Amino acid sequence: MGIDVSLLALIRKPLQRGLKPWPVVRPLRFAMASGLLVGCWALVISSGVFESLVAAASPPSFSADIAPILQKNCVACHSSSTKMGDLVMDSYDALMKGGIHGSPIVPHNAHGSRMALMLEGRVEPRMPFGADPLPATDIAMIEAWIDAGAPGPAASETTKPLTAAPIPEIKTEVPVVSPVAAVKFSPDGKLLAVGGYREVRLLDPGTGKVIATLSGHADYVRSIAFSPDGKMLAAGGGPPQQWGEIKIWDVQSHQLLKTIQGHNDCIYSIAWSPDGKLIASGSYDKMAKLWDASSGKELFNLKDHIDAVFAVAFSPDGKRLATASQDRTVKIWDIATGQRLYSLSDASDGLTALAYSPSGDRIAAAGYDKTIYIWRLGKDDGHLDQSLIADEDSILSLVWGLGGKVIITSSSDGSIRFRDAATLDPIRVIDHQPDWVEALSMSPDGMRLAAGRFNGSLSLYDLENYKEVRGQIMAFEPRQPTAANENKQVAQ
Ligand code: HEC
């Protein structure tokens, strides 16, 4: 069956541009997430569990009872392509063969089986990794199946391989350049880190030359944070609808120090605490998390937003974390307890960008409603200080810089605007950007502004005269097209 080409183009464009998921993409993504991942299997499980448990006449069947649980909760990380812990679950045989620790299943002995122990949280890390534990009925079903000898599919049963939920991968027809999804100056200003598709490039901001490429990221690197001493760099991202990933790199040696995985969807924003001890992440899965930067252990899951978390920022004194969400709110959290202190809910649409004033007494946020909001922050609550419709289209990025005097925004109207932070009066516009400026970073000395664009280009502006320092820099080489014909399959 064919599909109207223009319709496909309509779907594809926001998907490709969708580093920040625009409203058009969201219904599609939710339909995929709830319909394909949950809907059909949830029905199978809910109608099956109690009858089998109560009746217990015959042991649970792998195909009818166990496979749907694995399909829904495990295969995204345990398919032949993801293979976490070296464990593949796309078939009964692969599951029984096991992973790093051998077979996770000891037939007739659920309580001696690694899989059951990990589902119960008695062996760390608890599975499913980074998500809520399985419902007790699912765990009981798996244990009953193991205790019954963990029988495989009957010879008469046709078994189709378990596969991760289909995420339509949009193939490219022409060479593509990775968008610049993140830029960040190092604390000493000597490096500019640029995040894109599966890599971080370290550039010399003086010459524009690439010094190093940090590769091996699972998907787009959507956010970069340096440790306060500048020795380490954290890069956040992860595959949409699957998991969040933070890779921590040694900035001198370019060695990978650690990979942290968590969340049930990709990470959009990370921040490193001023004392260097914590990393915060915000994800499309509506959660923000606080991680111990040295062990990679999750300390708090900050659960209160009702939609994607697009931006996180530590207060300058390191005592609080602010999160900004598609749910139109900014929330302020206590770092020591993980408790939410209060919510700032004046915005009329999703918020994509967030920045504390250098003194920490105010916070600015902006997003789809084109407005800059500035709140004055108290101990137990905050109030709106000022707001201004600042751009002609969604605001993509916001920096509060130059000793707190200037607020800079980039917008999908093609501009970078500088405003007086006290009055929000315009100071300067750098207009006619060749593409959306997804990411901004100001050098620590306030001399340079780096602007990374959706078309993969990067410019450095001199903040004395607002001129581009040298021509546009391409941070990433074009990637060759992937089989153009496969587009047709996506459309069917
Ligand atoms: C978000 C990704 C993710 C999901 C979802 C997930 N796992 Fe895992 N799993 C991992 C990672 C990562 C490891 C390796 C952990 C380690 O050893 O530190 C692992 C390891 C395991 C192991 C141990 C393999 C070995 O030999 O060491 C078992 C058993 C396991 N998972 C079972 C499950 C089950 C059952 C589910 C579904 C209910 C599940 N996992 C869902 C990421 C995931």
Atom 14 (ligand 1): residue with closest C-alpha?
85
| pLDDT above 90: residue 487 | no
In a domain, 304, yes or no: yes
Residues 6+ apart with CB under 8 A from 337: none
Helix axes 40-55, 136-147, angle to 10 degrees: 60
Q: Is residue 421 part of a domain?
A: yes
- Is residue 156 domain-resident? no
CA 99 / ligand 1 centre spacing (Å): 9
Of residues 41 and 114, more confidence is placed in 114
Task: Output the pLDDT for position 164.
Answer: 57
Indicate whether 410 and 478 sit together in one domain.
yes
CA distance 74 to 469: 49
| pLDDT of amino acid 180 | 95
Whether residue 24 sits in one domain with residue 71: no
- Tens of pLDDT, residue by residue over 87-96, are 999 889 999 9
Task: Write out the residue range of the structural domain in which residue 27 sits.
Answer: 2-56
pLDDT digits (tens, 9 = 90+) for 173-193: 566 788 999 999 999 999 999
What pLDDT, on a 0 to 100 scale, did the predictor assign at position 15? Answer: 34
At residue 105, the pLDDT reads 96
Predicted confidence at residue 261, as pLDDT, reads: 95
Kindly state whether residues 196 and 122 are assigned to the same domain: no
The average pLDDT across 162-169 equals 53
Q: How far does the centroid of ligand 1 lie from the alpha carbon of residue 257, in Å?
A: 21
What is the pLDDT, as a whole number, of residue 177?
A: 81
| Residue nearest atom 29 in ligand 1 by C-alpha distance | 115
Number of domains in the chain: 3
Q: Are residues 127 and 273 in the same domain?
A: no
370: number of Cβ within 10 Å = 20
**Backbone phi, then psi, for 235, in 5-degree steps?**
-125, 120
Compute the mean pLDDT over every residue in the chain, rounded to the nearest whole number: 84
Q: For residue 335, tell me if it sits in a domain.
A: yes
The finding on whether 263 has its CB within 6 A of some atom of ligand 1 is no
Q: Is the domain of 217 the same as that of 362?
A: yes
What pLDDT is attached to residue 160?
63
The conformation of residue 468, written as its DSSP 8-state character, comes to: E
Which residue from 459, 451, 441, 476 is spatially nearest to 213, judged by alpha carbons?
Answer: 476
* 306 within domain boundaries: yes
* Residues 44 and 108 reside in one and the same domain: no
Contact 310, 268 (CB under 8 A): yes
Residues 89 and 128 reside in one and the same domain: yes
Is 152 a member of any domain? no
Q: Which one has a higher pLDDT value, 20 or 198? A: 198
Q: Is the pLDDT of residue 340 over 90?
A: yes
Q: Are residues 300 and 370 in the same domain?
A: yes
CA separation for the pair 424, 435 (Å, rounded): 25
pLDDT at 80: 79
The per-residue pLDDT for 395 is 96
The SS3 call for residue 367 is strand
CA angle 284, 290, 291 (to 5 degrees): 110
Short-list 358, 328, 343, 362, CA closest to 446: 358
Cα-atom radius of gyration of the chain, to the nearest Å?
Answer: 24
pLDDT higher than threshold 80 for residue 156: no
* Confidence check: pLDDT of 385 > 90: yes
Mean per-residue pLDDT for 63-71? 90
